[in-house]
A and B are shown apart, each in its own frame.
Chain A
Amino acid sequence: MENAIELRGVTKTFGLITANKNVSMDIRRGEILALLGENGSGKTTLMNMLGGIYFPDRGEIFVKGKQVEITSPKDSYHLGIGMVHQHFKLVDVFTAAENIALGLEEKGRFNLNAVKAKARDICDRYGFDLNLDQKVYNMSVSQKQTLEIVKVLYRGADILILDEPTAVLTPQETDKLFAVIRNMRADDKSVVIITHKLKEVLEISDRVTILRKGEVIGTVNTKEATESSLTEMMVGEKVELNINRIPPVNPKKRIEVKHLTIVDEQNVRVLEDVSFDVMGGEIFGIAGISGNGQKELLEAIAGLQKCEPDSSIKYFAGEKADQEMNLLGMTPKAIRDMGIGMAFVPEDRLGMGLVGSMDMVDNMMLKTYDNGRGIVVDRSIPRRRAEMIRKKLGVVTPGLSTPVSRLSGGNVQKVLVGRELASNPTVLMTAYAVRGLDINTSYTIYNLLNDEKKKGVAVIYVGEELDVLLELCDRILVLCGGRVNGILDARKTTKEEVGLLMTNLQERRQA
């Protein structure tokens, strides 16, 4: 079979960091190739060199047998390579057709109808569901992605590179995307999918190329691979991929949210009439497409959001959880002063949870710096705590006085989670706690959450990977458009059911 693309000895460095080292790989015609690797293994950098975003330091690239130099995205287009980035590059106020027409180099008068006709043709051929007259700002994430793919096909791409295409999709949307990808393969196009999700690799790809720390570890035929064999190649060692879920221990109501409504600065109702309880000793999952009110919900409980007047957030203290305390309208400091141990791992680690320019010690005292009398801060306890977290969680850092922004994403998260757990909380809220982390660190975090659950802590886990939510949580609340679209028993529900609730808002039941 002819190779669409061959890479030979490609190396790319950024400063002292080597993102790709001596990478050689092939992309065949008419195949779906999965490029698998953990975060930071150099998958995107490698593909960006095909997309004309980066230029390799060393090495050779052959497209359809000819050696080429790709110095810009334009070169890439001319070679028939189309890349769909993780962050879409669309003009919001344009329609789908206008976005497709943007930047075309066709001679003669601009004719939007001709563009539409050709685009319509592409949609029909591969089975894309796209309204060409819809404005981008009215589109869902999945529609935007479809548009991006049609856009590159329109430009005649026969080699498609999709960067983490399923990261933002529900299970149903993923199925639709995969069907379209298979149609493209049938049309003799090559498709590269950058991903770190094993299940999808096994489902869709013909071959898998695995990257680890910027180097190619190997290429295998998907038929011969299993989840554990791929993980082992990706991580470099055997990994136990089990989450040990125990039944909730002695559950008692700790948090009660009733009729929570939040209106943001643009006057949009980001949360509407949200009500639920969280027990101590359970992991309460929150699912939903990102941006459906998860962030605001956690921030409201933590005392960082302004809520509408008829909302109510209560905390129940004490061994029997019978002392009712109001949390609505409290500041984080006021909640602390009430003696409530509320730990919160926000989504934005360095922009909210930690101070990037400060070292581990100073970050340890973010919530405790004003303890004790006098005007001078006491760094001795934070220093001991930092040392303990570094040892216990295996934080890789040159030293306690290194600014945390210099640490890798996984280590930053360990520092943040470590600090929050060290405060002995009774409520623990985490938002996308494993985003960007490698498999080992992710499972470390899951285990830590389970330990907290065993201690009787009420754990709220906002997650994006449904597989994990189903394995880790006891109950799952699905948010859709800022409303509660169902609270499910995680042991009984399915991925499909959760996926459906994430996108289709149920008719509101009459109270």
Chain B
Amino acid sequence: MKEPLIRIIKRQQPPLLNKILIRVIAIVLALVVDAVFIYGVTGLNPLAVYGVMFKGTFANAMRFSWALRDLVTLLAIGVALAPAFKMKFWNIGAEGQVLIGGLATAIVMVNCGNSLPTPILLIVMCIASVVAGGIWGLVPAIFKARFNTNETLFTLMMNYVAISLVSAATNIMRGQASSLGKLNMATKAGWFPKLWGQTYNINILVVAILAVVMFLYLKYTKHGYEIAVVGESENTARYAGINVTKVRIRTMIISGAICGLTGFLIVGGRDQTISTSTAGGNGFTAIIVAWLAKFNTAYMALIAFLLTFLSKGAAEIASTYALNDFASDIISGIILFFILGSEFFINYTLVFRKSRKEAAK
């Protein structure tokens, strides 16, 4: 009898220890393969390179706070996508929802910056961003409910609308100047104050709260239950008496609103300006974050950390050794590849064909 050499078999629920072990092995393997690549191509000492990579995030307090800042931006968008994705509503319009939230924030900053006291200004900025993002999420949901449009294409196209609006608005706002620069540079109106002496602490705090609240919302509330049922099967939802359209619209408003809020955090707390690159591709990277974490916001924090750590590390390697970006991207890419690959081995196991002698037994 011919028997295939390797068969892939799905594992029953693997024990936790196994899962951890497989991931550790994956990272070790990745470092070994990376070492071969680093030494073979650049002739550098791999251990030294890993040290530099580590420094990208942990070199000093400032580096660490930059890493955290980027991490929470990614995490915030991931949190925003979680309810939509759990509902199997493929919102890939986070980039645009963030931008439009940021734009709303910037407009409030510029127009009300001198007339409102700081706390009220911040609240108005926040509300404006949430409303703008919410609308950007609402529109595709309404079209889906009304005309059964494809949400993936729709949300994607809404990104380009947002980009164009931002680019038009920045052109108007900068007037004769060559670039927009920081908004309200003189008064710093609408800039987030330092919290506990740190520039980005407000962003970190807000996102941490968001992540926890979203976790609880999805797991313990009636809304969260409805989202899970609608995501699994629309027919089951109707059978249970859930108003599918209402749940979809409500959830997309929430998703868009949190994206909008992220725009507020970026403009008010990080950049103090607006441009078409304000979202910086995070709206797309966050899709990976949300997926890998299987929409669990606690895992999202870990994944967001990993991605940030790798990109900071790659940049650090590139500048320290004057390597070109591609080389350092390959180094971090290999690590990511192995970590993602380990998921396969967590869910499946391989069975090799037994040797003839063994089979005869």
**A residues whose Cβ falls under 8 Å from a Cβ of B:** 15-16, 55-60, 69, 71, 302, 304, 331-334, 336, 344, 346, 348, 350-358, 362, 365-367, 369-370, 375-377
Contact = CB atoms under 8 A, between A and B. Distances in A.
User: Most chain-B Cβ atoms within 10 A of its Cβ — which of A304, A350, A367, A377?
Assistant: A377
B232 A346 contact: no
A375 B12 contact: no
9 contacts: A16-B12, A56-B1, A59-B1, A71-B2, A331-B241, A353-B236, A358-B229, A367-B241, A369-B225
B243 to A, nearest CB: 8
A351 B238 CA distance: 11
User: Most chain-A Cβ atoms within 10 A of its Cβ — which of B12, B226, B242?
Assistant: B242
B182 interface: no
User: Most chain-B Cβ atoms within 10 A of its Cβ — which of A336, A346, A355, A365?
Assistant: A355
User: Most chain-A Cβ atoms within 10 A of its Cβ — which of B220, B228, B240?
Assistant: B240
B222 A355 contact: no
Interface string B229-261: 100110110111111000000000000000000
Interface of B: 1-3, 9-10, 12, 220-226, 228-229, 232-233, 235-236, 238-243, 359
Nearest to B349: A15
B241 A352 contact: no
A282 B266 CA distance: 66
B346 to A, nearest CB: 15
Given A69-B2, A355-B232, A377-B220, A304 B238 contact: yes
Contact of A352 (B3, B239, B359): B239
B220 A355 contact: no
A15 B350 CA distance: 10
A422 to B, nearest CB: 15
Contact of B235 (A55, A344, A351): A351
Nearest to B238: A304
A24 to B, nearest CB: 15
Contact of A354 (B3, B223, B236): B236
A346 B236 CA distance: 10
A63 to B, nearest CB: 15
Contacts of A367: 240-241
Contacts of A376: 220-222
B225 A332 contact: no
B10 A15 contact: yes
A312 to B, nearest CB: 22
A417 to B, nearest CB: 15
A219 to B, nearest CB: 24
A376 B243 CA distance: 18
A58 B1 contact: yes
Contact of A366 (B2, B222, B229, B243): B229
A16 B1 contact: no
Contacts of B241: 331-334, 336, 367
A364 to B, nearest CB: 12
A366 B235 CA distance: 12
A358 B237 CA distance: 13
B1 A355 contact: no
Nearest to A402: B13
A71 B3 CA distance: 11
A451 B12 CA distance: 38
B240 A69 contact: no
B223 A355 contact: no
A55 B2 CA distance: 9
A362 B225 contact: yes
Given A16-B9, A59-B1, A71-B2, A353 B239 contact: yes
Contacts of A346: 239
A377 B222 contact: yes
Nearest to A336: B241
A90 to B, nearest CB: 28
Given A71-B2, A304-B239, A366-B240, A355 B221 contact: no
Contact of B3 (A57, A332, A358, A370): A57
A294 B1 CA distance: 48
B1 to A, nearest CB: 6
A30 to B, nearest CB: 29
Contacts of B240: 332, 366-367, 369
B229 A370 contact: no
A410 B220 CA distance: 30
Contacts of A302: 239
Contacts of B226: 369
Given A333-B241, A333-B242, A357-B228, 18 more contacts: A57-B3, A58-B1, A58-B359, A60-B1, A69-B1, A331-B243, A332-B238, A346-B239, A348-B235, A351-B233, A352-B235, A353-B239, A355-B228, A355-B233, A365-B225, A366-B229, A375-B221, A377-B224
Contacts of A348: 235
Nearest to B241: A333
B2 A352 contact: no
A140 B232 CA distance: 34
Contacts of B359: 58
B87 to A, nearest CB: 13
A391 B349 CA distance: 34
A58 B220 CA distance: 49
